[in-house]
Structure 1
Amino acid sequence: MAQPRILIIEDERGLIQSLTWYFNREGYETLVAHDGVEGLRKAQTMLPDAVLLDLMLPGMSGLDVCRELRAGERTRDMPIVMITARAEETDQVVGFHMGADDYVTKPFSTKILLQRVKALLRRIDGNSDGNEHIEHLGVRIDRVRHRAMIEGAVLDLTPTEFRLLEVLLRQPGRAFSRHQLMDAAIGEGSIVLERTIDVHVKTLRKKLQSAGGPSDLIETVRGVGYRFRESHLETSEASS
């Protein structure tokens, strides 16, 4: 199975550090957001396997984040564990009503939290192949083997190029800003220019084309950033 990807949306820095260390040690890839707006953006952009979501967040509450995720076509089935310092039964009822799958109250045992996350991921294990393999317009990504191919030809990609291609390929037709792609492909907190993404996209396009693919699979969206082509028809029409 591919390394599970967990998004932690929490504003307590100490708790974030503790959870990140623990889940990394247990073989999980961790993503972090410190407020609700950032957390929602990362969930929609990077499509984690599960979300640990604090109820009380700056910018946008955990309940509102949960509501937005459940309303999204690509995020509606995303497992969500609510984390809160409030233990009132009404809070739990509201959390479940908004679509949370589970609920833990601070302070909590990280071991128990891990078991709850594992249980949620097991529920969607029947769809795990779809999480481990992504394929669209002849381009295929294997997350388990960390390998990308086009029409059967293996692409020689750097880790950043692989991550960039994965983000674009998982949501064909969606326009991503350069900032979103920087977060996803290069990593949060990296000090790089937005122009860096342009360089990575240019190189990725060349590698796709050199392996036999069309030159316009990754489309520039003027004033926004980039998106992966949604259909062969769109590609052929653009080429004509």
Structure 2
Amino acid sequence: MAKQTILVVDDEKDLLDLIEYNLRKEGFNVLKAENGEEGIAMAKEHSPDLVLLDIMMPKMDGLQAVEVMRKDAELKRIPIILLTARSDEKTEVEGLNKGSDDYITKPISTTKLISRIKAVLRRFDEKEEATNILEVHNITIDRDRYIVYKDGEEFHLPRKEFELLFFLASRKGKVLDRQTLLNKVWGDNIYVVDRTVDVHVRKIREKLGDHYIETVKGVGYRFKE
């Protein structure tokens, strides 16, 4: 199973290092940023599974960062937890209304923090798994039966081609780099090269047409909106 990646954004370096250490012990990959602007840029580049976000930071605070992410086609699906020293109800309500998935006040034990992170990830995974039939453009992707329908015609794709198509289509409009696709579709314990993704995309295009999956030069692929 692929390791999940957590992006931690906080301007307290000691806290960043502590959270990173404990998340890595739990088997997560960890990315770190020290302000909202840097966090947004890293989220766009690496497509993490969850963002843990402080509120009071330089350049762009956490509430602004949540707002930017929820309006961005590439980032709006990523779950966000606000971790902050601000415990007033007004700020908590504002953070949740802007689109964060949880609001945690400091100080909190690392054990409880990791438990809350796992709970949000579980909710997100369950919501994703509930979507077993996708209808995009003129195709229907049925994950229960591993069948793709295009204008009523059935297509039976090999398993990895199907899973790659479903993963891209379920994140329509989001640019996904090759490494992310390899980790999510093949798993990070399986050794395959970037070229594997290109070959599978080419085969999908040969069967369904080349106007669904767009190549983003130097980055990866995006399922067109």
Could you say which TM-score interval applies, normalised by the shorter chain? 0.5 to 0.7
Q: Which residue of 2 aligns with 1:47?
A: 47
Aligned pairs for 1:92-103 (under 5 A) are 92-103=92-103
Q: Which residue of 2 aligns with 1:67?
A: 67
Aligned pairs for 1:3-14 (under 5 A) are 3-14=3-14
Contact 1:172 1:227 in 2 (8 A): no
> After the TM superposition, which segments of 4 or more aligned residues of structure 1 sit over 4 Å from their partners?
128-131, 167-174, 180-185, 203-209, 211-214, 216-222, 224-229
Letter in 1 for 2:11: D
Deviation track 1:96-138 (CA, whole Å, cap 9, x = no partner) reads 222222222222211111111122122223245499xxxx99x
Q: Which residue of 2 aligns with 1:152?
A: 158
CA–CA separation in structure 2 for the residues paired with 1:69 and 1:108: 25
Is 1:119 aligned to residue 125 of structure 2?
A: no
Aligned pairs for 1:137-176 (under 5 A) are 152=158
CA–CA separation in structure 2 for the residues paired with 1:46 and 1:32: 11
CA–CA separation in structure 1 for the residues paired with 2:48 and 2:96: 20
Q: Aligned to 2:118, what secondary structure does the other structure show?
A: helix
CA–CA separation in structure 2 for the residues paired with 1:102 and 1:204: 34
What's the CA shift for 1:212?
9.0
User: Scaled by the length of structure 2, what TM-score is found?
Assistant: 0.61
What's the CA shift for 1:69?
1.9
Deviation track 1:121-178 (CA, whole Å, cap 9, x = no partner) reads 22223245499xxxx99xxxxxxxxxxxxx53979xxxxxxxxxxx98886666x6xx
Q: Select between 67-76 and 52-61 the one with higher mean Cα deviation.
A: 67-76
Letter in 1 for 2:52: L
CA–CA separation in structure 2 for the residues paired with 1:173 and 1:102: 25
Q: Which residue of 2 aligns with 1:80?
A: 80
Q: Select between 27-36 and 54-63 the one with higher mean Cα deviation.
A: 27-36
CA–CA separation in structure 1 for the residues paired with 2:5 and 2:80: 13
Percent identity over the alignment is 33
User: Scaled by the length of structure 1, what TM-score is found?
Assistant: 0.58
Higher relative contact order (CA 8 A, sep 6+): 2
Structure 1, unaligned runs of 5 or more: 138-150, 156-166, 186-199, 232-240
Contact 1:173 1:227 in 2 (8 A): no
Q: Which residue of 2 aligns with 1:237?
A: none
Structure 2, unaligned runs of 5 or more: 140-156, 162-166, 182-193
Letter in 1 for 2:116: R
Q: Report the CA distance shift for 1:90/1:221 in structure 2 as closer, same or farther (over 3 A).
A: closer
Q: Report the CA distance shift for 1:205/1:97 in structure 2 as closer, same or farther (over 3 A).
A: closer
Query: How many corresponding residue pairs?
Result: 195
Contact 2:168 2:222 in 1 (8 A): yes
Q: Aligned to 1:78, what secondary structure does the other structure show?
A: coil
